[in-house]
Amino acid sequence: MTTTLNRPAAPRTAAPKQKPTFRQRLNVLDVKASPYLYIAPFFLLFALVGLFPLGYTFFVSLFDWHLLKGQGEFVGMANFAEVLRDRFFWNSLFNTMSIFLLSTIPQLVVATAIAAVLDQHLRAKTFWRMSILLPYIVTPVAVAMIFANMFGEQYGLINNILASLGIDRIMWMNETLPSHIAIATMVNWRWTGYNALILLAAMQAVPRDIYESAAIDGAGPFRRFFSITLPSIRPTMIFVVITATIGGLQIFTEPKLYDPRSAGGTARQFQTTVLYLWEMAFQRQNFGQAATIAWLLFLIIILFGIVNWLITRRIATAGDIRKIRTRVTSRRVR
């Protein structure tokens, strides 16, 4: 049984703009808002626990501020003047730079050598790669303990060996340079293999035919290494140096645990800047000056970063593969 209902005919002239349905509007909102929603957690959290504390550090540095008593008087730049006059601050900067250089330059040289050795047709490739990465999984705390023992002045393994060879015992703890070498050794031991793998990845990106044409042109292995490999991995090397800088200027664990009963040696002979910051904040309880030290170190690291970046832009292009390629091929064409 059917009944036909007379419906009013639909208006012939369709509305020029149909109102979007609720669903469509929801969809538009979804498309527009989602990207922001996905990045929001990162930016909010980072602002809260990353950027805000750094900015607030500057605020604290303008006050007399005590660990327990809290905020004191506004002193303006007095903390900065004080810290810049502070012998120990400059001493800590010197130690940091010295340890940083001792733990970056040899590390880079050795890591490049290891990478070059690994960049061949090796048997048991994965085994060798894992073996040089082994130190990386030992935590800095354990590394500091193991090496503090090995570098022991009285019973240390290294001094024992030196003594048996008839060499005088070295004061690895009490003298400035030996203590820096000991701490740099900890850093080098843990990071060399890691950086070697990064450099190895860069070496493997160099096209093999370049090596072949160079070899045909009569370049020996060393010549090939210095003329092809090194220029090609230069950008990666700079990258490694930059990361080493950011990390190296903030070194804390190794010097702290090398002599756990002091803050960087009895005469501050290996007190690094972050270690001095720690002492200033939690032993001398002077938050105002500690914040000043943190802020100054922050500026130094940023400065290093900018200088690094400028140098990178200068010479990153110099190691361009294509240039070498054209040079090699043009020579062969001739």
Partner 1 sequence: MTVIENTKPESTRKFPLRKRIFGNGHRPGFLTYGLLFAFFLASAYPLWWSVVIGSRSNEALGQTWPPLLPGGNFWTNVGEVFDTIPFWLALGNSVLISGIITVSVVAFSTLAGYSFAKLRFRGRNGLMVAVIATMAIPTQLGIIPLFMMMRTLGWTGEIGAVVIPTLVTAFGVFFMRQYLVDVIPDELIESARMDGASMISTFWHVALPAARPAMAILGLFTFMTAWTDFLWPLLVLDAGNPTLQTALSQLQAARYVDYSIVLTGAVLATLPLLVLFALAGRQLISGIMQGAVKG
The first and second tokens of residue 293, run together, are 């030290």
99 binds partner 1 per the rule CB under 8 A? no
312 binds partner 1 per the rule CB under 8 A? no
DSSP secondary-structure letter at 317? G
181 binds partner 1 per the rule CB under 8 A? no
Please say which residue, 193 or 265, places its beta carbon nearer to partner 1. 193
Distance CA 224, CA 209 (A): 12
> In whole angstroms, how close is the CB of 7 to partner 1 at the nearest point?
30
Please say which residue, 8 or 155, places its beta carbon nearer to partner 1. 155
Please say which residue, 2 or 327, places its beta carbon nearer to partner 1. 327
Provide the β-strand partners of residue 286. Answer: 66
Amino acid at the residue 253 = T
145 binds partner 1 per the rule CB under 8 A? yes
263 binds partner 1 per the rule CB under 8 A? no
Please identify which residue in 63, 233, 278, 279 interacts with partner 1, judged by CB under 8 A. Answer: 278
Name which of residues 201 to 220 contact partner 1 (CB under 8 A): 201, 208, 211-212, 215-218
253 binds partner 1 per the rule CB under 8 A? yes
**SS3 label, residue 113:** helix
39 binds partner 1 per the rule CB under 8 A? yes
What distance lies between CA 301 and its chain's CA centroid? 11
Q: Give the Å distances, CA to CA, from 48 to 67, 132, 147, 302.
A: 22, 38, 38, 20
The first and second tokens of residue 113, run together, are 């050598």
Name which of residues 40 to 59 contact partner 1 (CB under 8 A): 41-43, 45-46, 49-54, 56-57
Please say which residue, 91 or 273, places its beta carbon nearer to partner 1. 273
Amino acid at the residue 301 = I
72 binds partner 1 per the rule CB under 8 A? no
138 binds partner 1 per the rule CB under 8 A? yes
232 and 206 Cβ atoms separated by less than 8 Å: yes
**SS3 label, residue 199:** helix
21 binds partner 1 per the rule CB under 8 A? no
246 binds partner 1 per the rule CB under 8 A? yes
Please identify which residue in 281, 319, 324, 328 interacts with partner 1, judged by CB under 8 A. Answer: 281
122 and 186 Cβ atoms separated by less than 8 Å: no
Who's near 61: CB < 8 A, 6+ residues apart?
79, 80, 288, 289, 291, 292, 294, 295
Please identify which residue in 87, 261, 314, 322 interacts with partner 1, judged by CB under 8 A. Answer: 261
